[in-house]
Chain A
Amino acid sequence: MDYRIDREAHQTTVFLRGRLTFNDHSVLRAMIREMSLSDPGRQVLDLSALEFVDSAGIGMLLIAREEMANVEKDLVLRKAAGQVKRVLTVAQLGKLVTIEE
């Protein structure tokens, strides 16, 4: 998986691309650190180009949520589609993280 960050005044949007699995722990750590240092209080993960996520990937999204909460930022997941949307639904992640279409 790789990502790019789009910084605006009111929010930071991180566009994820590819497959998010347990192998991506190093990339996720770097991404979470960048998000923590970003000014806006609203941090959006755009999942529209994410093709696949596994349970470890979901766990890492929850770690991102926890780390954002620790620095008083809100994490939002946006535009999940296909397999990613299905897994987020089966995992009932909407109970813990704000999910937008």
Chain B
Amino acid sequence: MAAAPSQESAAPADGLRSLLLHGPDGLPGGTAEFFDRAGRPVWDGRSGAPVAVLFHRTDTLRSAALWSSPFTAWIDLAGLGEERLNRLLDRAGNADFLASLTTAAAHDLHVAHRLVAALRDRGRLTEPTASDIEFALHEAISNALLHGNLELESVKGSNLGDLCRFSTELTSRLGNPALSARRVEVTIRFGDRSAIVEVSDEGCGFAPRPRQSTRASGAGEMGAGESGGGDRAEGASGRGLVLIAGIASRLELLDGGRRTRMEFTL
């Protein structure tokens, strides 16, 4: 299926573009001072060039307007030093879209839903590919948050007690400042007939078991999911990556399982 015509300038193939900065909820140490230190151009409220939203209150990103054009990057400033922010902005300049949030913020916001809705609204994705990408992105983000950053194991069994234990543990881990401050990063790059979506986390990684057969392929290809089980129709958990592999045209796990790379044909 062909993608709808782009309404925005794509990232140049040969390198970096410098995003304009926007701080809708104020910035640490004062917005003007922050932008001075950053040494990067600031959005004037009118330019249609790509803009990075720098925010520190999760509620800020509940505004649909901040997911519309010209915004192409969304960066949670919590815990970010200048050096790390600059590296993130450089990566955002190399991608069509980038979102970098703490685990706490990503858990509160339906990031996959908001991001894919933004791409639909801008004509970058059409159905049914948009729904497939939203599902796969949601699964990859969930894995990054739950099993990566929060180091949670999957629901162990298939009864209500198992679900209760998972709920309790999830609440407990989210309340752990060290874990909930870990970041998850999403990048999206569009090619002529493909979209490459990557999700990375700051967890301990994991070593997947190889799958027997799937549409997905690649050096770090897998699909067995968090539990290592290969059958889709079994227990209550552990099928997320299997389902991604069934939907994406290519799936790879990189950086010891901390980065999921998915490719979709448009």
Contacts and interface: CB of A to CB of B under 8 A. Distances in A.
B131 A83 contact: yes
Contacts of A54: 135, 138-139, 142, 240
Interface of A is mostly: helix
Contacts of B164: 29
B181 to A, nearest CB: 19
A59 B155 contact: yes
B159 A63 contact: yes
A96 B233 contact: yes
B231 to A, nearest CB: 8
Interface in B157-206: 158-160, 162-164, 166-167, 170
Contact of B232 (A23, A26, A91): A91
Interface string B232-245: 11011101100100
A30 to B, nearest CB: 10
Interface string B85-111: 000000000000000000000010010
Given A29-B167, A90-B243, A90-B246, A56 B233 contact: no
Interface residues of A, number: 32
A67 B233 contact: no
Most chain B beta-carbon contacts within 10 A, residue among A19, A54, A70, A95: A54
A79 interface: no
A70 B159 contact: yes
A55 B136 CA distance: 10
B158 A66 contact: yes
A90 B232 CA distance: 8
A21 B243 contact: no
Contacts of A91: 232-233, 239, 243
Interface in B211-244: 225, 232-233, 235-237, 239-240, 243
Interface of A: 19, 21-23, 25-26, 28-29, 32-33, 52, 54-56, 58-60, 62-63, 66-67, 70, 82-83, 86-87, 90-93, 95-96
14 contacts: A21-B142, A25-B167, A25-B170, A32-B160, A54-B139, A55-B142, A56-B155, A59-B235, A63-B155, A66-B159, A67-B159, A67-B160, A82-B131, A86-B128
